[in-house]
Amino acid sequence: MEIKTVGVVGSGLMGSGIIETVARCGYNVVAREVNDEAVQGGRKRVQTSMGRGVERGKLSDAERQQAESRITWTTSLGDLSGADLVIEAIIENLDAKKDLFQELSRITRPDVIIASNTSSVSITELAAVTSRPDKVAGAHFFNPVPVMKLLELVRALQTSEETIAELRRFGEGLGKTVVVAQDTPGFIVNYLLVPYLLDAVRMVENGVASKEDIDAAIHLGLNHPMGPLTLLDFVGIDTTLYIADVMYEVFRDSKYAAPPLLRKMVAAGYMGRKSGRGFYDYSKS
């Protein structure tokens, strides 16, 4: 099947990045949000990101305009009925994703792959509620999507080899390096990343070192682009807590148990960059 039109459900931080990337690579995109306000927010994120790309010489103004012209915004899920591939990028909530996958399997053609951008939810459970479990897989992009070169595909128990092969071709066509993981909480990246991030929070909590010194040590000592606490703010404190809780629920391993400080920060509304405050203060930036 030739993929010409891609449906993307959700246009938040990740969804908008997927929409932009797919449109810039020549595909028609049908971007669906829950209401007009969310549509405007998603459109603004895409336009702002591509505007930065023009300023930095990553694409021309003509290319930006062409990419924007390929995107159709909608609040109706039914408008995705003609899509050749659908990528879900809504909130990390299993029940919400299950409801969506059931509806997507009803309104799209039987040969259409439905992929989830989830970083933690079980793809096997999502596949099980659809009428075509062999056509369901994980397609986990990384933020910022237009820049990050990795695409992590996740194979559910039901996912066919043909589905993985088609998604691999699609991902490589977007300029991504594609890796494949089995459906285990955290997949490859978060399986290794989350314990590291949680240990950094424990170091702050236990007064081992200041957040600035922890970040500087990792940035300069391991040549990471940013330290773990800056990364937590970038990813989202609430998102990390959710992923950690999902992983702990499955593995019951203490390395996935979220430190109390992480829960306190979420309760206080300190979600990281997106809220203006996390481990660092972004209110003036």
Give the active site residues.
119, 140, 152, 190
- CB distance 174 to 151 below 8 Å: yes
Backbone angles phi, psi at 258, to 5 degrees: -65, 135
How far, in Å, are 125, 136, 150, 172, 277 from residue 121 at the CA level?
A: 8, 13, 19, 24, 26
Instruction: Compute the distance between CA of residue 14 and CA of residue 82 in angstroms, rounded to an integer.
Output: 23
- CB distance 200 to 232 below 8 Å: yes
Q: In sequence order, what are the beta bridge partners of 230?
A: none
* Cis amide prior to 133 (ω within 30 degrees): no
- CB distance 85 to 116 below 8 Å: no
Instruction: Compute the distance between CA of residue 250 and CA of residue 47 in angstroms, rounded to an integer.
Output: 39
Residue 264: Cβ within 10 Å count: 12
At 240, the amino acid letter reads: T
Residues near 109 by beta carbon (within 8 Å), at least 6 away in sequence: 81
Residue 58: Cβ within 10 Å count: 14
Instruction: Compute the distance between CA of residue 273 and CA of residue 285 in angstroms, rounded to an integer.
Output: 10
